[in-house]
Structure 1
C-alpha cells in the first residue's frame, strides 16, 4: 500500500518546510490515492473509513501541511463527519473511541448450538446440519459454554452445550483449563486504524475519548499494522505527513461550538 498521513505528536518540533501542492500527501500522494487505500482496507468498518477520510480531507485538501492551524484542522475533520443524531456529540469523537485497539471475541448468541456428540440420527434426514456435523444441535443456554483460547492468537472459540449435556460441558472445561493458561493475550482484531494511517499521541486521545485515564493499548501495539495475523502478510510501514495533536482544552469542545 502507498504512503499515508501523519498526525504528529504535539511535543514534536515543526518539520522543515517542503514544497507541496494542496491535496497531496507524503511522497506526492494525492487525496484520491489516500481514499483508494482507505476503501481497499478490509480492516476498516464504514465508520472507520469516514473517520480516516475526514482526517485525510482536513490534512491534504482543506489545510496545508506546512501552514496548519491545529484547531482549524480538527474542526474541519469534525464538521466533515457531522454530529450524532441527538446533536450532542461529534461523530468523529465517537468514531475515535470506537477505533481504540481491542479484541472482540464475537460471542454470537445465534450460534450457541450444543456440540455434544449425536448418538442417533436426527429424523430430519441426512442433510440436516445435526446429522452432517454429528452433534446434538439443541439451542444452548447463554451461560453453558466452554471457552477455548487459540494457542497462536489467543482468540476465543466457544463450545456450547445444552442442559442435557452439562456433563460434556464440565469435561471440556476441565480439558481446556491448562491450555487456556498457556495461551497468549488475544491479538486485537478491532480498531487501531488511526495509528496505522496517522501518527499522533493516540494513547492520550483514546484515553480521553474512552473516558478512561488508565486505558492501555494491547501488548501488540496501538497500530493495527503491527498486529500479527496468521496467514496474512504484515503491512509495510507507511510514510506520513505531520499534523499537531490537539491539547486538552480543544479536546473538550462541544458540537455547538463550531456550527
Structure 2
C-alpha cells in the first residue's frame, strides 16, 4: 500500500507539509482504487468489514486529501459514509469496529445438532438415509447436550451432539476429552483483525475502548489477521499499511514523507 495515514487526537491540526496523499491523482503511490481492489479481494472480510475499511480509506485518501484534515472531519466522513442503523440510534461504523475485535468464533451452528451416538439397528428409511450411512442416532439434540473437542493443532472447537436418550454417551465423551482438551493450544482467531491489516495504530487501546474493557488482551497470535496461522494455507505476505493513531477514539490524518 502507498502513503501512510495517521489518525490521532481531535482538534490538532496538521502541519501543511504532511497534508498529501497518493489519491486524487497526486502522482505515484497507491490510489483509492488500488486500496478498494485489495479490500474487495480479501476473502476474510465480511460485507460490513469491507464497508468499514472502504469508509476509512475514502475519508483519508479521497475526501480530505487536499485540505488540512482534522479528526472530527475525517471521523464524521467515515461515519456518514456507512450511516446509521435502521433505528438511527447507532453508527454502523462503530458497530463494525466492535465486530473487528480479534477473536475466535466457534461456529456452533444450531442447524446441525444431531445425535452422534452409535446406531444399534438400521433406520427404516433405508440404506441411503444419512443415519444409516454414518451409523449414528441422528435424532435432533438439545442446545446444551454437547461435548467440545479442541483440535490439537488449532485449538478450534468441534462439537459432538447427543440427544436425551444418549446422555450416558455424552458424559463418557466429555470425560474422554477432558485431558486432551487441557493440552490444546489457545484457539487461533478466525474473526476480526482486519483494521490492523490495512491500518497501523495503537489497536490494543482502541479495542479496549470499544469493548469497554481496559484489561482485554489480544490473542497470543497477534492483533492482525495476517499474523494468524491457518493450517494448509500459505501465510499472507506482509503488506504496507495506512498508518493510523487513535487517542480517545478520535481521529486525525497525517501522511508522512519518506520512501513508499
**Which TM-score bucket, shorter chain as reference?**
0.7 to 0.9
Matches of 2:192 and 2:51, distance apart in 1: 13
Matches of 2:208 and 2:27, distance apart in 1: 28
Matches of 1:25 and 1:199, distance apart in 2: 22
**Alignment length, in residue pairs?**
247
Cα RMSD (Å): 2.7
1:68-110, Cα deviation, whole Å (9 max, x unpaired): 3222211111111111222222111111001101111111121
Matches of 1:181 and 1:25, distance apart in 2: 56
- Native 8 Å contact 2:8 2:250 kept in 1: no
**TM-score when normalising by structure 2:** 0.86
Q: Match of 2:160, SS?
A: strand
Matches of 2:53 and 2:106, distance apart in 1: 25
Match of 1:63 in 2: 64
Q: Which runs of 5+ in 1 are unaligned?
A: 252-259
1:207-257, Cα deviation, whole Å (9 max, x unpaired): 222222222211111111111110111111111233443x32748xxxxxx
Q: Match of 1:33, SS?
A: helix
Matches of 2:121 and 2:85, distance apart in 1: 54
Matches of 1:19 and 1:107, distance apart in 2: 47
Question: Relative to 1, partners in 2 of residues 1:7 and 1:222: Cα closer, same or farther, differing over 3 Å?
Answer: farther
**TM-score when normalising by structure 1:** 0.86
Matches of 1:81 and 1:5, distance apart in 2: 23
Match of 2:183 in 1: 182
Matches of 1:183 and 1:249, distance apart in 2: 36
More helix by share: 1
- Native 8 Å contact 2:20 2:66 kept in 1: no
1:99-153, Cα deviation, whole Å (9 max, x unpaired): 1011111111211101011121111111111011111101112111111000011
Q: Which runs of 5+ in 2 are unaligned?
A: 252-260
Matches of 1:132 and 1:29, distance apart in 2: 54
Match of 2:36 in 1: 35
